[in-house]
Structure 1
Amino acid sequence: MNGQDWKGRIIFHVDMNSFYASVESNHDSSLVGKPLAIAGNPKERRGIVVTASYEAREYGVKTTMPVWQALKKCPNLIIRPPDFNKYRAVSAELFHFLEEYTDLVEPVSIDEGYMDVTSTFKERNVLNMAEEIQNRLYKELGLPSSIGIAPSKFLAKMASDMKKPLGITVLRKRELSQKLWPLPVEDMHGIGAKTAEKLKMLNIYTIGDLASYSSDSLKGRFGVMGQKLHERANGIDYRDVDPESAKEVKSVGSSTTMSVDIDQKQELLNVIWMLSEKVEARLKQKQVCSANFQITIRYSNRKTITRSKKLLNPLFTKEDIHTQAADLLERYWDGEAVRLLGITGLEVIPITDAYKQLDLFSYKKDIQDANLSDTISELTNKYGKHILKKGHRNNES
């Protein structure tokens, strides 16, 4: 299934499987393969299950289920409280990863997003690309995922839900009658329980029933939403994948999984430098800077730590980023072999909004450094990174 086989757009919906549970298992390898639930107030049996691993789901544990009921279904269920700071950090890694494939990435929640790969991979085999993304997400970030492939956002979302976990599903408009229309109307994205009940009162029980129902009647009953539901059921969805539709950029980073685990400090520092260059390039591309840099260290046993450091002044050059990241590595690396390293600028702000507590002796140098950095970037972008070479200062008077 090559890119040229598609006459229209190629949209991916990438959805993590049991995201919170997967993140917890990555941080604590003793949880791998065990029934696990993330729940609010787990010590109080009144807590609610936020998500559950697939091992727990086999026992009937479901999202929004009370903890007491989940324990009744699965007495050996492991329950952990949610750690949203941890999940947000991994989510940032996830979307930085997807941006390696295309700039058109639209996050829609902490663990799912759309990718428009039409122009970027017009000549690539679409299924091979999806498999590569899925395999790398699992291998490098420890995140199982399902991917829907379709000519629109709605159909891609429906496709990703059709096979979980670790599914890849293609849904074309010509396949709606076989793959989409037989599904219960409540399975349709955008239809809640109350709307489903109202539709059933009109003898609309399947998505196919909705697709064949009068559009004018649906609009008269449900307003503009009724018309939209009718269009979606017929595969009509012209919405673009819009990176700007999500909230403003809050973090910029880069991570890499080593081909072999590294336990030598200098080699890790070399990786830190490479990542600092990438983060600088992305910060400049988005015209933002950060005064809060985070390092992610994943060890060979998959134990993962994230540590950050807040600074007085925002940074955006690779030299400054490297200094901060190297300091964090020095302070928090335990000497064990490292599988993955990452650097992320948190709480980013537009460069135009950044300010510094400048003194008389530093402001001119700051301006010169910023201008020089921009000039170097322009030259390397135009002529290649080898256009500039380090020279030696002549100390002769």
Structure 2
Amino acid sequence: MQEMYPKKGRVILHVDMNSFYASVEMAYDSSLKGKPLAIAGNVEERRGIIVTCSYEARRFGVKTTMPLWEAKKLCPQLIVKSPDFDKYRTASVAMFDLLRQYTSLVEPVSIDEGYMDITECHEMGSPIEIAKSIQQRIFQTLDLPCSIGIAPNKFLAKTASDMKKPMGITILRKRDVPDKLWPLGVTEMHGIGEKTAEKLESIGVRTIGDLSQANEMQLRHALGINGLKLKNRANGEDNRGVDPDSIYEHKSVGNSTTLPYDSTNEKELLTVIHTLSEKVAFRLKRKNLAGQKIGITIRFKNRKTITRSKTLLNPITSHKNISEEAKALFKIHWNGDAVRLLGVTAFEVIEKQEAFKQLDIFSYQQDAKKEPLFSAIEKLQAKYGKKALQKGTDYTGGTSANMGAETSFSKDFLDRQR
């Protein structure tokens, strides 16, 4: 079997679970199989958004991120369920445990997808035989479908896994790139969204083939260093290895909420930011992390979305500091229009022990006095729950105290894998 593997280079698999949340629900309840099923947040409220849906629902035009009311209009018989993240985490852990039976080089990148380096697994069979074994075992033991891409690097493996769904296995070699990828539009390429595509369009780059041959000076000017990376990807080049430890690297921790109604009330909006900042701070402290940059997301009534951030002099973790920075950003960048969604995120997070603070003579005594209080609060919240002891905030009644459901942007779902 060794002759089926390259003498130089790698064999990378990208395992991508198909309609994961919907498939897990079907595995738990077989009566849902073969029916149009959607998983949506806030099922009873107008802000409900489709998180994922079955392939039966997709045939009616139902798509991820589509408003629930629109999905029901396209498919009146649509079955809608609220997310059950405990089920999904359990299934995810079981899936990754199975992958690690083939190799220790498994890199989870989300709850339902991951990379495997099987370069040294020739004793188990050819790459295609290993992929078939993985796909069949996941289906037989967990009743979950997946697609698998086989390639010499992570970018091509990810691209390959998207080519046949559900239950597909695709091999994509570097020599296949000119025929299979170059004719496609740049928006078909993993890592390129609408805004990046618009910038590429401005310099005459419309297809992946155009990108592969693009002028590097123009790319750098339009996209910075990322432009050169995307050109390499368009040529099928990607030197990143499969890193099992990457699940321990937190790049950001954030929370967002969709408001139950579009609001122009500044006091209410600042209260929401205050609450979101509290949640971000709690999760940072629980993970022993500190943020070096604070960002906000504002989505307006017309669905236009802006994100703004500020790099900080010192890493921060406290609710007070996060809230102050987020509110300041909001006041600068909010134009007064009705707001539909708000988010607060700590970026460039690092381990707390790696963080430093340039304490001066004025702040040192103040920080030293507060530290025992913070420690005591954390211990009480850890023992009795985070609501056991909270700082008082202004409350004027109405709905602002519970403006929306929390959405997590960090890799909390991978905590169970540690």
TM-score category (smaller protein): 0.5 to 0.7
Q: CA deviation at 1:179?
A: 1.0
Note the alpha carbon deviations across 1:239-268, whole angstroms, 9 max, x for none. Answer: 00000011279xxxxxxxxxxxxxxxxxxx
Q: Percent identity?
A: 59
Q: CA deviation at 1:208?
A: 0.7
Which amino acid counterpart does residue 105 of structure 1 have in structure 2?
V
Counterpart of 1:277 in structure 2 is none
d(CA) in 2 for partners of 1:143 and 1:84? 16
Q: 1:16 to 1:221 in 2, by over 3 A?
A: same
Which amino acid counterpart does residue 200 of structure 1 have in structure 2?
E
Counterpart of 2:156 in structure 1 is 155
Q: Give yes or no for the alignment of 1:92 onto 2:93.
A: yes
Q: CA deviation at 1:122?
A: 6.1
Counterpart of 1:227 in structure 2 is 228
Structure 1 segment 228-377 matched on structure 2, within 5 A: 228-247=229-248
Q: 1:347 to 1:76 in 2, by over 3 A?
A: closer
Note the alpha carbon deviations across 1:7-45, whole angstroms, 9 max, x for none. Answer: 421000000000000001111111111000000111224
d(CA) in 1 for partners of 2:47 and 2:243? 40
Which amino acid counterpart does residue 218 of structure 2 have in structure 1?
S
* Unaligned runs of at least 5 residues, structure 2: 251-382, 384-414
Q: CA deviation at 1:217?
A: 2.4
* Maintained 8 Å contact 1:144/1:165: yes
Counterpart of 1:176 in structure 2 is 177
Q: CA deviation at 1:195?
A: 0.4
Which amino acid counterpart does residue 17 of structure 2 have in structure 1?
M
Q: Secondary structure of the equivalent of 2:52?
A: strand
* Maintained 8 Å contact 1:185/1:196: yes
* Maintained 8 Å contact 1:216/1:227: no
* Maintained 8 Å contact 1:4/1:123: no
* Maintained 8 Å contact 2:199/2:223: no
d(CA) in 1 for partners of 2:118 and 2:91? 23
* Higher mean C-alpha displacement, 4-13 vs 185-194: 4-13
Q: CA deviation at 1:4?
A: 3.1
Note the alpha carbon deviations across 1:286-327, whole angstroms, 9 max, x for none. Answer: xxxxxxxxxxxxxxxxxxxxxxxxxx9xxxxxxxxxxxxxxx
Q: CA deviation at 1:108?
A: 0.2
* Maintained 8 Å contact 1:130/1:168: yes
Q: 1:53 to 1:110 in 2, by over 3 A?
A: same
Q: Secondary structure of the equivalent of 1:103?
A: coil
Q: CA deviation at 1:180?
A: 1.2
Counterpart of 1:214 in structure 2 is 215
Which amino acid counterpart does residue 161 of structure 2 have in structure 1?
S
Counterpart of 1:46 in structure 2 is 47
Counterpart of 2:193 in structure 1 is 192
Q: Secondary structure of the equivalent of 1:246?
A: helix
Q: CA deviation at 1:196?
A: 0.8
Cα RMSD after superposing both structures: 2.0
Which amino acid counterpart does residue 101 of structure 1 have in structure 2?
Y
Counterpart of 2:110 in structure 1 is 109
Counterpart of 1:27 in structure 2 is 28
* Maintained 8 Å contact 2:5/2:11: no
d(CA) in 2 for partners of 1:155 and 1:347? 29
Which amino acid counterpart does residue 79 of structure 2 have in structure 1?
I
Which amino acid counterpart does residue 158 of structure 2 have in structure 1?
K
d(CA) in 2 for partners of 1:122 and 1:10? 14
Q: Secondary structure of the equivalent of 2:150?
A: strand
Q: Secondary structure of the equivalent of 2:76?
A: coil
d(CA) in 2 for partners of 1:348 and 1:170? 29
Which amino acid counterpart does residue 246 of structure 1 have in structure 2?
I
Q: 1:156 to 1:21 in 2, by over 3 A?
A: same
Counterpart of 1:73 in structure 2 is 74
d(CA) in 1 for partners of 2:133 and 2:12? 16
d(CA) in 1 for partners of 2:177 and 2:196? 22
Counterpart of 1:268 in structure 2 is none
Counterpart of 1:9 in structure 2 is 10
d(CA) in 2 for partners of 1:90 and 1:5? 31
- Per the normalisation by structure 2, the TM-score is 0.58
Counterpart of 1:57 in structure 2 is 58
d(CA) in 2 for partners of 1:141 and 1:154? 27
Q: CA deviation at 1:215?
A: 2.3
Q: CA deviation at 1:347?
A: 5.4
* Maintained 8 Å contact 2:23/2:54: yes
d(CA) in 2 for partners of 1:97 and 1:247? 20
Q: CA deviation at 1:2?
A: 6.5
d(CA) in 1 for partners of 2:2 and 2:163? 22
Counterpart of 2:371 in structure 1 is none
Q: Secondary structure of the equivalent of 2:122?
A: coil
Q: 1:122 to 1:188 in 2, by over 3 A?
A: farther
d(CA) in 2 for partners of 1:161 and 1:3? 27
Q: 1:108 to 1:76 in 2, by over 3 A?
A: same
d(CA) in 2 for partners of 1:206 and 1:136? 38
Note the alpha carbon deviations across 1:326-367, whole angstroms, 9 max, x for none. Answer: xxxxxxxxxxxxxxxxxxxx8587xxxxxxxxxxxxxxxxxx
Q: 1:44 to 1:162 in 2, by over 3 A?
A: same
